[in-house]
Structure 1
Amino acid sequence: MIQPLLSNPLLLVALACGLDRLVGDPRWCPHPVVVMGWWITLLRRGAEAWAGTRAWKLLLAGGLITLVLVGGSGLAGWVVEQLTPTPLLVVALASALAGRSLEQAVLQVLEALPNSLQAVKNQTDDAGGKPSLVALQPARQALAWIVGRDTADLDAPEILRAAAETASENAVDGLFAPLFWMLVGAGIWSLNPALPGPLALAWGFKAASTLDSMLGYRRGRLRWLGTAGARLDDLLVWLPCRLVALGLPLAAGQPGRCFSMLAAALRDGAADPSPNAGVSQAAYAHAAGVQLGGSNRYGGQLTSKPLLAQGLPAPDGAAVRHMLELSRRLELVWLATAAVLAFITKTLS
């Protein structure tokens, strides 16, 4: 059972991080986020049938959905912590992390792009020698799996920018935010193993994140129904996002720039409608030395995002890979820092 490792819950988190990097998300195994998605769909149908188009009812229903899903996910995590053998608990913890899956998805875009670029050189249409519209299709299709923007007409530089932006934003949402709450839970568990621990907090966060991704849109009924989940996700990501911006210079081997880079990320990201997305992208932009941001299309509608690290070069494939490497290094920095803090706390107690 889990008892032998309860005295060192941080080891469980470290093992989960290693398993995530080694295996990722096996497609044959039902993922907890998929289960959360099923419940959100079911609860949304009931909420919309009850509330109709009345804003106050949709707001109330959205709050209840958030309470049920986040509370239920946290409770499920706590039960698993108390009843599950250690190996399965490590697997459950790893399911809350998306380090490898994000990296693989971004690398698939980059790996498709060189072949597409060669196709651009070799293929032209019959009207004036312009590049064929299908030449970049493999990279566009790979990108469409991981971004919300329209990808059908993106050229190579825009594909690279989109890959860089999703590598930076989703590193916070998919890796560092759940890892932060996992570490908080490990700290709570070290004080009292009967309390909700790393899995309870991580699954609770993933529920809020899934709510935001499925309902957090400012259109139609979702403008009200998704408000509670979106605001809770913003709140839970706020601190991890800023810790990422503070720690990236350490991962980049520039410890003297920690506070100046944090200030730059906060300044550049302030114009973004999201309190976290712009900051996370700006932090990676400054750390990798590239400019991000600009105009994107979502559902055919043009949206202008603020320029981040303005004046630096546009991202190329090497810069995107560097961002992925920075995430791997920063994950180790976080685990090492948590181990040091745990040691100091144990020594002083």
Structure 2
Amino acid sequence: MLLISLIVGLCLDRALGEPRRYHPLVGLGNYIAAIEKRLHDNDSSLQRLRGVIAVCLVLLPGLLVAYGLDHGLSDIAWLHAVTGGIIVYIAIGWRSLLEHAHRIAEPLRSSELAQARYHLSMIVSRDTAELTPVQMAAATTESVLENGNDAIFAAIFWFIVGGIPGVVLYRIANTLDAMWGYKNVRYRRFGWAAARLDDVLNWIPARLTAFSYACVSAPLGNFVQALRCWREQGRSWKSPNAGPVMAAGAGALNVMLGGAMHYHGELQFRPALGAGVSPDTASIEAACLLINRTVILWLAVIAILEWIT
């Protein structure tokens, strides 16, 4: 039934995309913002403790509901499977990720740079106003590779491991990190617990994703090169989980990513990732294809494991 739930969730995502209205994650974001408003206080000496309490207050209601669904429906196999599929659909962003990438690639291909910059600014935190076409292609490729793990494969992993409660735990933790996991004055201490929880939950999925990128790279790049880039470059990245994913993905695609980039007006010198040519719109399309091939690989492995067990 696990495979059925995943197929239901992935098919719903491909057919419907993100809900245009009443998206549960929008409600979650509003709830997180309300918790932050009550507990955040930069003048407090207990900011880390406040952050831990805030994370617990966000996680516990969602986990209680998820646990109730998981166990309340366990005796009705088909309903449990369909409900699990719907939860997976809410938790992943496969179609959305590819659509965002295409919205940037298409105007970039036709040299409509202002439009490409606008759409890129919707998915990255770096400054996009002065980016060259190569830099925009690099930023988009990096985002596709990194979010392949965050928006798809880590959610699938935690559904496999923990069922409905597992995927709900991951999606809430990842959303908390997206909202609070910044190393700036406001969130360095308050968002510490959210960032660390996300790091822990992503540690195994990120490395499975990196290895999967290498495995499906044969028509696109180089398996050995992907593993080498992961081994030699992954640890140098500021994020312990994004580094391996992006390095392996860049190696698989045979492109060079990373390098200096402006974030909120500040120039950050990021290590190089990957090997090969400079990215372009073809690199964006190849990254999307890499994601699709990895989805197929994961479904095939899950089907085999269910069959032999």
Fold match (TM-score > 0.5): yes
Q: Secondary structure at the match of 1:225?
A: coil
Contact 1:292–1:308 (8 Å) recurs in 2: yes
Contact 1:242–1:262 (8 Å) recurs in 2: no
Question: Is it true that 1:35 corresponds to 2:27 in the alignment?
Answer: yes
Question: Is it true that 1:109 corresponds to 2:74 in the alignment?
Answer: no
Q: Partners in 1 of 2:224 and 2:47 — Cα distance?
A: 42
1:153: which partner in 2?
Answer: 130
1:166-209 alpha-carbon deviations (Å, 9 max, x no partner): 01111111111111111113xxxxxxxxxxx2x22111101111
Q: Please, what TM-score do these two structures have when normalized by structure 1?
A: 0.81
Aligned amino acid, residue 65 of structure 1: A
Q: How far off its partner does 1:20 sit?
A: 1.4
Change (3 A) 1:106 1:211: same
Q: Partners in 2 of 1:45 and 1:102 — Cα distance?
A: 30
Q: Partners in 1 of 2:36 and 2:157 — Cα distance?
A: 29
Q: Which blocks of at least 5 consecutive residues in structure 1 are unaligned? A: 1-7, 118-134, 186-196
Q: In terms of mean alpha carbon deviation, does 67-76 or 276-285 score higher?
A: 67-76
Contact 2:230–2:248 (8 Å) recurs in 1: yes
Identity fraction in percent: 32
Contact 1:271–1:306 (8 Å) recurs in 2: yes
Match of 2:231 among 242, 262, 266: 266
Match of 1:340 among 295, 299, 304: 304
Aligned amino acid, residue 18 of structure 2: D
Structure number with greater Rg is 1
Equivalent residues in 2 for 1:113-152 (5 A)?
Answer: 113-115=108-110, 117=111, 136-152=113-129
Q: In terms of mean alpha carbon deviation, does 333-342 or 170-179 score higher?
A: 333-342
Aligned amino acid, residue 58 of structure 1: Q
Equivalent residues in 2 for 1:29-68 (5 A)?
Answer: 30-48=22-40, 51-55=41-45, 57-68=46-57
Match of 1:248 among 204, 210, 213: 213
Match of 2:168 among 198, 203, 206: 203
Q: Partners in 1 of 2:64 and 2:296 — Cα distance?
A: 29
Aligned residues: 303
1:95: which partner in 2?
Answer: 90
Q: Which blocks of at least 5 consecutive residues in structure 2 are unaligned? A: 74-78
Q: Secondary structure at the match of 1:39?
A: helix
Contact 2:234–2:244 (8 Å) recurs in 1: yes
1:325: which partner in 2?
Answer: 289
1:18: which partner in 2?
Answer: 11
Q: Secondary structure at the match of 1:297?
A: strand
Contact 1:161–1:315 (8 Å) recurs in 2: yes
Match of 1:77 among 66, 91, 96: 66
1:76-126 alpha-carbon deviations (Å, 9 max, x no partner): 2233345574545422321111111000001000112133x1xxxxxxxxx
1:178: which partner in 2?
Answer: 155
Q: How far off its partner does 1:277 sit?
A: 1.3
Q: How far off its partner does 1:317 sit?
A: 1.1
Q: Secondary structure at the match of 1:27?
A: coil
Match of 2:141 among 164, 173, 176: 164
Q: Partners in 2 of 1:324 and 1:77 — Cα distance?
A: 31
Contact 1:172–1:241 (8 Å) recurs in 2: yes
